[in-house]
């Protein structure tokens, strides 16, 4: 079955430590996104990538880094510079503007099941 | 700049009542897309509907209906005869045209409680 896989489901970070959240998709989607969800804040965009080897900052990129070396993968690193990392992180993908096979679903975001990150 | 406002933070209704979730958006684009997503307690967001800016027809899907009004920049969502399983957080979202910036902006969500 096609979909988006996020791992791990729960992650704990120690002070001063970098941690990486995994996001893999087998939907052949061009665009991938990372969102952070805090209670009462909704979803806020961290980084997004429209194509391999390219990505853009979202609204709250400070303290985070990403890479897009493969179409299927868009890992997010929460660095020690992120002073308040405790949150629920959601990865998403969609066809993107180059994905013209099925226009009816091109604009639709597909989400992973999320990673809950907590600080020890 | 794009913006999505869901003014209702939390709503509680008794089962079988109808409930409407409000969504107001701001954009300068003439072509844009609006979405509704449901987030049950499991956490994963579930797609409900997509609407493009050129299609103002209202849509009905079972107990769900959506009212898109460009004149008021609103895309409201109504659940008819609500059920306990409808309890979730609901997000409205906005995207620009697909041939340019692919950012998708979400509202802060409305937490819906359906009481038995």
pLDDT digits (tens, 9 = 90+) for A12-59: 988 889 999 999 999 999 889 999 999 878 899 999 998 899 999 999
CB contact under 8 A, B42 and A113: yes
pLDDT at B77: 97
With CA atoms as reference, the chain B residue closest to A58 would be B103
Question: In Å, how far is B67's CA from the nearest CA of chain A?
Answer: 19
* Lookup: tokens for A100: 């013209």
- Place B56 in a pLDDT band, splitting at 50, 70 and 90: confident
Residue A109 per-residue DSSP state: -
Q: Residue B72 burial by CB count (10 A; 0-12/13-18/19+): exposed, middle or buried?
A: exposed
CB contact under 8 A, A43 and B91: yes
The C-alpha torsion from B38 through B32 and A108 to B20, rounded to 10°, is 20
Region A56-82: what's the mean pLDDT? Answer: 95
Residue given tokens 């489901």 in the structure block: A9
Cβ neighbours of A96 in B, within 8 Å? 98, 102
Region B72-92: what's the mean pLDDT? Answer: 96
Q: What is the pLDDT of residues B2-20, one digit of tens each?
A: 899 999 999 999 999 999 9
> By three-state DSSP, how is residue A113 classified?
coil
Select the residue of A42, A112, A113 nearest B109 (Cβ to Cβ). Answer: A42
Compute the distance between CA of residue A14 and CA of residue A19 in angstroms, rounded to an integer: 9
Q: Which residue has the higher pLDDT, B44 or A98?
A: B44
**CB distance A48 to A55 below 8 Å:** yes
pLDDT at A99: 47
Q: Which residues of B5-28 are buried (b: 16+ CB within 10 A; e: fewer)?
A: ebebeebebeeeeebebbbbbebe
B15-24, B73-82, B101-110: the lowest-pLDDT one: B101-110
- Place A102 in a pLDDT band, splitting at 50, 70 and 90: very low
């Amino acid at each position: 079955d096609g979909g988006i896989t996020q791992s791990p489901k729960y992650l704990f970070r120690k002070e001063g430590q970098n941690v990486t959240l995994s996001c893999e998709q087998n939907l052949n989607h061009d665009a991938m996104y990372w969102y952070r969800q805090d209670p009462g804040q909704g979803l806020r965009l961290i980084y997004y990538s429209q194509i391999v080897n390219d990505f853009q900052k979202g609204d709250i990129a400070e303290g985070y880094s990403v890479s897009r070396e493969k179409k299927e993968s868009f890992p997010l690193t929460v660095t020690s510079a992120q002073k308040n990392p405790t949150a629920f992180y959601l990865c998403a993908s969609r066809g993107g503007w180059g994905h013209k096979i099925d226009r009816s679903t091109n604009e639709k975001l597909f989400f992973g099941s999320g990673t809950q990150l907590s600080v020890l | 700049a794009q913006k999505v406002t869901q003014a209702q933070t939390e709503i509680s209704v008794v089962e079988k009542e109808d409930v409407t979730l409000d969504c107001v958006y701001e954009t300068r684009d003439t072509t844009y897309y609006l979405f509704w997503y449901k987030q049950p307690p499991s956490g994963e967001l579930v797609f409900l509907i997509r609407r493009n800016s050129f299609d103002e027809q209202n849509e009905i899907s079972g107990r769900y209906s959506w009212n898109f009004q460009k004149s008021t920049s609103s895309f409201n969502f109504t659940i008819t005869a609500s059920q306990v399983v409808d309890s979730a957080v609901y997000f409205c979202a906005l995207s620009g045209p697909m041939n340019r910036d692919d950012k998708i902006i979400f509202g802060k969500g409305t937490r819906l409680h359906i009481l038995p």
